[in-house]
């Protein structure tokens, strides 16, 4: 009897692990959301609320074209959800709020195993201030999205804001062919994330006051978090730094990315690592464009070895267990 218990425990352990990964890549249910016409729900949140607690199979929520004025939350106990829009120019979720960087985002996702495709997430709070061109008016932190859960994939999505647009909070995340817009710290957080072929658009109020694309928050040498950008581009209307250290061990790598001339010559700012900027890991590898000249970059920018480059490859950095390969197909 005693020898049977460990076997039973091991079997249950693997069952639980499999359930967490949504039982494979097959979609078991599709829910339709639409502003008009035939649809199960009129709001995205109502559709998410209808998904069973501790969901363990992929459920697709198809969001028809339209403007959805709401704040959308995927709670921790509802994993395995796919949000499928009809294109980021046609399916738009917009919200107006700025109370704090810890709440009130347009999209908050706490669950693991979440996929979003073909959707715009927009926080419109700072839009009126930005358009007024009045530099005396204060810009507030206003998240378009905040992502907590592990193993989340965003495909052809847009994230639109000004300050703190995308709070890449924690967990492994994969952003592919996405559009990210902002000016100050507009990709930030403690996530371990890979951005492939993403278009970064800088929309600043003051062309003479550089913003910051990233503010990554790696806290220690043993912290595995960081942001890797492969391909894509940085363009816009005002000067921008590639990043500043939100925490002393901040880590951001750009590979094969096109930099327009808006990128500042220094490239990076130490911020919280000012006492010892060598604790940061900031690197640029095979980037191109008029802003990719590294001759005047900060002296503490890293030069990566071949083993470093392997560490920051897609397979090693976020997909060593193959979770991306096991995601449900988006169709």
**Per DSSP, what are the bridge partners of residue 50?**
none
Burial class (CB in 10 A: 0-12, 13-18, 19+), 119: buried
- The pLDDT tens digits of the residues spanning 57-89 come to 999 999 999 999 999 999 999 999 999 999 999
For the record, the structure tokens of 284 come out as 């640029």
What pLDDT shows up at residue 149?
97
Q: Work out the average pLDDT over 201-206.
A: 90
Tell me the C-alpha distance between 124 and 119, whole Å. Answer: 15
User: pLDDT tens, 117-149?
Assistant: 999 999 998 876 666 666 667 788 899 999 999
pLDDT band at 7 (very low <50, low <70, confident <90, very high): very low
Query: Which residue, among 223, 188, 211, has the nearest Cα to 105 in the 3D structure?
Result: 188
Q: Using CA atoms, how far apart are residues 244 and 268, in angstroms rounded to an integer?
A: 6
Cβ neighbours of residue 215 closer than 8 Å, sequence gap 6 or more: 185, 187, 188, 243, 244, 245, 246, 250, 271
Q: Is the pLDDT of residue 10 over 70?
A: no
pLDDT, position 99: 64
pLDDT computed for residue 134 by the predictor: 67
Residue 135's pLDDT is 67
Q: 1-5, 52-56, 120-124, 190-194: which range is least confident on average?
A: 1-5
Q: What is the CA radius of gyration of the chain?
A: 21
3-state secondary structure the chain: CCCHHHHHHHHHHHHHHHHHCCCCCCEEEEEEECCCCCCCECCHHHHHHHCCCCCCCEEEEEECCEEEECCEEECCCCCCEEEECCCCCCEEEEECCCCCCCCCCCEEECCCCEEEECCEEEECCCHHHHHHCCCCCCCCCCCCEEECCCCEEEECCEEECCECCEEECCCEEEEECCEEEECEEEEEECCEEEEECCEEEECCCCCCCCEEEEEECCCCCCCCCEEEEECCEEEECCCEEEEECCCCCCEEEEECCEECCCECCCCEECHHHCCCHHHCEEEEECCECCCCCCCCCCCCCCCCCHHHHHHCCHHHHCCCCCCHHHCCCCC
pTM: 0.91
Query: Mean pLDDT, to the nearest integer, of 283-300?
Result: 98
CA distance readout (Å), 84 to 32, 43, 119, 176: 10, 14, 7, 15
Q: What are the chain's domains? A: 24-174 (2.160.20.10), 183-321 (2.160.20.10)
106 touches 145 (CB < 8 A): yes
| Residues with catalytic roles | 164, 185
**CB-based burial, 211-232: b 16+ in 10 Å, e otherwise:** bbbbbbbbeeeeeebbbbbbbb
Average pLDDT, the chain: 91
Q: Is the pLDDT of residue 12 over 90?
A: no
Kindly state the average pLDDT of the residues 263-267: 98
pLDDT tens digits along 143-183:
999 999 999 999 999 999 999 999 999 999 999 999 999 99
Cα gap 151→148, rounded to integer Å: 10
Report residue 221 as tokens. Answer: 């040498």
């Amino acid at each position: 009897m005693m020898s049977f218990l460990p076997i039973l425990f091991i079997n249950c352990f693997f069952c639980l692990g499999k359930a967490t990964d949504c039982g494979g890549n097959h979609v078991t249910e599709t829910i339709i959301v639409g502003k008009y016409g035939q649809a199960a729900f009129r709001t995205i949140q109502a559709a998410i609320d209808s998904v069973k607690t501790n969901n363990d199979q992929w459920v697709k929520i198809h969001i028809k074209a339209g403007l959805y004025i709401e704040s959308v939350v995927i709670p921790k106990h509802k994993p395995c959800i796919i949000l499928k829009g009809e294109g980021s120019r046609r399916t738009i979720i917009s919200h107006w709020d700025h109370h704090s960087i810890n709440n009130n985002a347009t999209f908050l996702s706490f669950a693991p195993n979440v996929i979003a495709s073909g959707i715009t997430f927009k926080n419109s709070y700072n839009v009126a201030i930005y358009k007024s061109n009045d530099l005396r008016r204060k810009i507030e932190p206003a998240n378009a999205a905040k992502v907590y859960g592990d193993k989340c994939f965003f495909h052809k999505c847009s994230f639109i804001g000004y300050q703190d647009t995308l709070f890449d909070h924690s967990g492994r995340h994969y952003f592919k062919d996405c559009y990210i817009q902002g000016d100050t710290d507009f990709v930030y957080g403690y996530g371990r994330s890979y951005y492939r072929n993403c278009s970064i658009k800088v929309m600043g109020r003051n062309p003479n006051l550089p913003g910051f694309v990233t503010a990554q928050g790696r806290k220690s040498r043993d912290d595995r978090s960081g942001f890797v950008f492969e391909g894509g581009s940085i363009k816009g209307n005002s000067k921008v730094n590639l990043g500043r250290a939100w925490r002393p061990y901040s880590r951001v790598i750009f590979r094969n990315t096109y930099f327009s001339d808006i990128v500042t010559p220094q490239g990076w700012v130490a911020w919280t690592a000012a006492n010892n900027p060598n604790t940061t890991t900031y690197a640029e590898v095979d980037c191109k464009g008029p802003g990719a000249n590294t001759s005047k970059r900060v002296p503490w920018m890293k030069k990566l070895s071949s083993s470093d480059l392997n560490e920051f490859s897609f397979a090693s950095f976020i997909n060593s267990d193959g979770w991306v390969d096991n995601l449900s197909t988006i169709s």
